[in-house]
Amino acid sequence: MLRHLYFCAPENLKTPPILLSDSPFPFKNLAQINQEFLRRLGPIWESGELQAILKQIWEEVLGKKQMFPFPNEYELTENQGLWLQNILKRLETNEPLQYILEKAYFLNFEIKVNASVLIPRPETEELVLWVLETKSQEEKSVLDLCTGSGCIALALAKLGKWKNVSGLDVSHSALEIARQNEIALELSISWLESDLLQQKFPSDLKWDIMVSNPPYVLEEEASLMDAHVLQFEPAIALFVPDNDPLLFYKKIVFLATQHLNNGGILFFELNPIFALEVKSLMENSGFQDVEIKQDMFGKNRMARGTWSFS
């Protein structure tokens, strides 16, 4: 296994990478390695996803962003070849490239990820953009529940003008990643380590915005999921019991009724199967103007509602 993963030409390594195989790497240029990746990974990864993987790998090799086609005649150094061999072998086990590289992109900025946190999805980017439509941000505080890598809290702090931003998660290892991302992005976020389902805030603690992408995948849906998700991404951040699919939504809605300021807004990412049930839950709990928003794929993926005392 590699001791570290390097994101550009790795010939500057002080310690050569440790090979997974003693055999030399026979490929000398991008055309050859591209063909080998397609041959060995084609049966494992969906075509569109594999093309995205290859694009990012070549960007890492060249040390810059560039659209296809990459120069096929580009000659690989020995260290680059060994680095690619390690990546290929790990991808063959279904390990996501983001975990191999220990980084992902969210709304065009880079964050650190590992197997302690979910890999951010485009749908969550859409949720953040919806939250950013909130007006008068300068006077508002935000709490991100089930923050994981911190991608939602980080994006809101980076792109918004909020008074303060906080993130809560039960996982200590996830919050360590969130803190590292906060430092790397030169932001200031308050992180709370706590079990959401047992959470009790002081009665005087209030926020203007509460947002969450909670676990919402039914256990019975696991059979429909890709192997690289099931085998590597944290189950604690994905699944809810089949007999209680709104488990986290019910708790968050209750907390929101206790700790949102008057006129505060609650945002959710949703399992489309239960979008209408979440909408009813919010309305029956006193939220006004509850609406469901579709994602780029036309699925009911987000909910928003306003909390009002009157």
- The answer, yes or no, to whether residue 138 has pLDDT greater than 90, is yes
Map tokens 């000659």 to a residue: 75
pLDDT digits (tens, 9 = 90+) for 220-272: 999 889 888 999 999 999 999 999 999 999 999 999 999 999 999 999 999 99
Average pLDDT estimate for 37-51: 91
pLDDT digits (tens, 9 = 90+) for 166-208: 999 999 999 999 999 999 999 999 999 999 999 999 999 999 9
Q: Which of 79, 210, 266, 117 is nearest to 87 (CA)?
A: 79
pLDDT digits (tens, 9 = 90+) for 51-96: 889 888 888 877 766 545 555 666 777 788 888 889 999 999 999 9
Radius of gyration of the chain (CA): 22
The reported pLDDT for the residue numbered 82 is 83
Task: Give the count of beta carbons closer than 10 Å to the beta carbon of residue 189.
Answer: 22
The reported pLDDT for the residue numbered 310 is 64
Determine what percent of the chain falls in helix, strand and coil, rounding each to the nearest 5.
Answer: 40, 20, 40
Task: Give the count of beta carbons closer than 10 Å to the beta carbon of residue 1.
Answer: 10
Q: Domain 115-307, what fold?
A: Rossmann fold (3.40.50)
The reported pLDDT for the residue numbered 62 is 74
Q: Is the peptide bond before 69 cis (omega within 30 degrees of 0)?
A: yes
Look at the alpha carbons of 104, 105, 106, 111 in this order and tell me if their dihedral is positive or negative: positive
Task: Give the count of beta carbons closer than 10 Å to the beta carbon of residue 59.
Answer: 16
